[in-house]
């Protein structure tokens, strides 16, 4: 009887360990200047430039193969030349060496974004690009990751960041 109890406990622990996910604590980033709010893991590094915000997984600074990044570039537009999101996307593809899937539209917090999956086989990078024109501004959002051996840990975190993106009124 004792061996049966021990076996049941062992099976339960193995099952629990295989379904365990690390708890991630998020912090909120808000910029009235950029008109955006999003949440990202508090142990990730945030970098800001004049028109861009990037958050990098802690592994990014190491030479390891498992790393991920989220970035968003915000550009004021001159509406004298009215371009479609498809045209902006095609320009991006000419500037970068990405293979890509078929573009589609996705809803993020009740806002429709132009979306496409990308790969960069040369550097073993996968990701997604999102484009949005809103209030005379072009939002170019990207996630990128090197597919980790341990599963989709980064993809889940990156998708959580993307789903948290909200636009706010700019100053």
Using one digit for the tens of pLDDT, what is the confidence trace for 11-35? 333 333 333 345 579 999 999 888 8
Q: In what order do the strands lie in the sheet with 26-31?
A: 26-31, 36-41, 166-167
Instruction: Tell me the per-residue pLDDT of 92-113, one tens digit each, with 9 for 90 and over.
Output: 777 777 888 899 999 999 999 9
Where would I find the beta strands (DSSP E) of 24-122? Answer: 26-31, 36-41, 45-48, 52-56, 68-76, 99-100, 104-108, 111-120
φ, ψ for residue 115, nearest 5 deg? -140, 145
Mean per-residue pLDDT, 132-160: 79
DSSP 79: T
> If residue 157 lies in a helix (H) or strand (E), which one and from where to where?
helix 153-164
Query: H-helix or E-strand containing 158?
Result: helix 153-164
CATH code assigned to 25-167: 3.40.1000.10
pLDDT in tens, 38-63: 999 999 889 988 888 999 887 765 65
Confidence of residue 155 (pLDDT cuts 50, 70, 90): confident
Give residue 149's pLDDT: 53
Task: Give CA–CA dist 16/156, Å, rounded.
Answer: 19
pLDDT at 18: 34
pLDDT of residue 12: 33
Q: Indicate if the pLDDT at residue 150 is higher than 60.
A: no
Please state, rounded to an integer, the average pLDDT across all residues of the chain.
77
Choose between 91 and 18: higher pLDDT: 91
């Amino acid at each position: 009887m004792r061996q049966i109890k021990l076996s049941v406990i062992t099976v339960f622990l193995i099952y629990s360990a295989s379904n365990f996910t690390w708890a991630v604590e998020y912090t909120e980033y808000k910029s009235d200047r950029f008109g955006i709010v999003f949440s990202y893991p508090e142990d990730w590094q945030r970098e800001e430039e004049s028109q861009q915000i990037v958050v990098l997984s802690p592994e990014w600074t190491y030479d390891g193969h498992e790393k991920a990044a989220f970035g968003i570039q915000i550009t004021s537009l001159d509406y004298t030349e009215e371009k479609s999101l498809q045209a902006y996307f095609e320009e991006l593809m000419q500037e970068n060496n990405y293979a890509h899937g078929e573009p589609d539209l996705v809803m993020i917090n009740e806002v429709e974004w132009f979306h496409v999956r990308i790969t960069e086989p040369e550097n073993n990078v996968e990701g997604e690009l999102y484009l949005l024109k809103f209030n005379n501004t072009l939002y170019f959002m990207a996630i990128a990751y090197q597919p980790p051996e341990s599963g989709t840990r980064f993809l889940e975190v990156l998708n959580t960041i993307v789903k948290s993106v909200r636009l706010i009124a700019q100053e």
